[in-house]
Amino acid sequence: MFGAIRNGSIKLFKVFGISVYLNWLWLIAAFYLVNTGLISRHNTMLNIAGLLGLFSIVLLHEFGHALACRSVGGKADTIVLWPLGGVAYVNPPHRALPVLWTIAAGPLVNVILLPILYLAAHSHYGADLGLTIGGQRFMGILFQIDFLLLIFNMMPVYPLDGGQILMSLLWLFMSEATALRIAAIIGIAGGGAFFLWALQEHSTWSMFMAIFVLFNAWQGFRISGMMKQIQQIPRRRGLHCPHCRANPPLGPHWTCFHCRSQVDLFENHARCPSCGADLNGAIIPCIDCRKETRIADWFTVATVDPVEVGPSK
Rank residues 9 and 164 by Cβ distance to Zn ion and give the closer one: 164
Rounded to whole angstroms, the Cα distance separating 126 from 119 reads: 6
286 touches Zn ion (CB under 5 A): yes
Rank residues 126 and 163 by Cβ distance to Zn ion and give the closer one: 163
CB-CB contact of 234 with 247 (8 Å) = no
Task: Compute CA distances 307 → 1, 172, 288, 299, 310, whole Å.
Answer: 55, 19, 19, 18, 9
> Least distance (Å) from Zn ion to the CB of residue 200?
27
Rank residues 106 and 249 by Cβ distance to Zn ion and give the closer one: 106
Rounded to whole angstroms, the Cα distance separating 222 from 219 reads: 5
90 touches Zn ion (CB under 5 A): no
Cα 5 to its chain centre, rounded Å, is 22
Q: From the CB of residue 298, how many other CB atoms can be counted at a distance below 10 Å? A: 21
Rank residues 85 and 135 by Cβ distance to Zn ion and give the closer one: 85
Give the per-residue contact string, 19-58, with Zn ion (x = CB under 5 A; - = no): ----------------------------------------
Q: Could you give the count of Cα atoms lying within 13 Å of 74 in the half-sphere of its Cβ?
A: 29
91 touches Zn ion (CB under 5 A): no
282 touches Zn ion (CB under 5 A): no
235 touches Zn ion (CB under 5 A): no
Task: Compute CA distances 171 → 6, 28, 141, 256, whole Å.
Answer: 34, 39, 37, 35
Binding window for Zn ion (CB under 5 A); candidates: 30-38, 139-147, 172-180, 284-292? 284-292
Which of the residues 156 through 175 are near Zn ion (CB under 5 A)? Answer: 161
Among 84, 111, 155, 244, binds Zn ion (CB under 5 A): 244
Provide the residue type at 77 as one letter. Answer: D
Q: From the CB of residue 8, how many other CB atoms can be counted at a distance below 10 Å? A: 11
Binding window for Zn ion (CB under 5 A); candidates: 127-135, 190-198, 208-216, 279-287? 279-287
Rank residues 131 and 177 by Cβ distance to Zn ion and give the closer one: 177
Among 122, 228, 237, 258, binds Zn ion (CB under 5 A): 258
First to last CA, the chain: 48
> Least distance (Å) from Zn ion to the CB of residue 214?
18
> Least distance (Å) from Zn ion to the CB of residue 127?
33
Task: Compute CA distances 207 → 92, 121, 145, 212, whole Å.
Answer: 31, 32, 20, 9
Catalog residues that contact Zn ion under the rule CB under 5 A.
106, 161, 241, 243-244, 246, 256, 258-259, 272, 274-275, 277, 286, 288-289
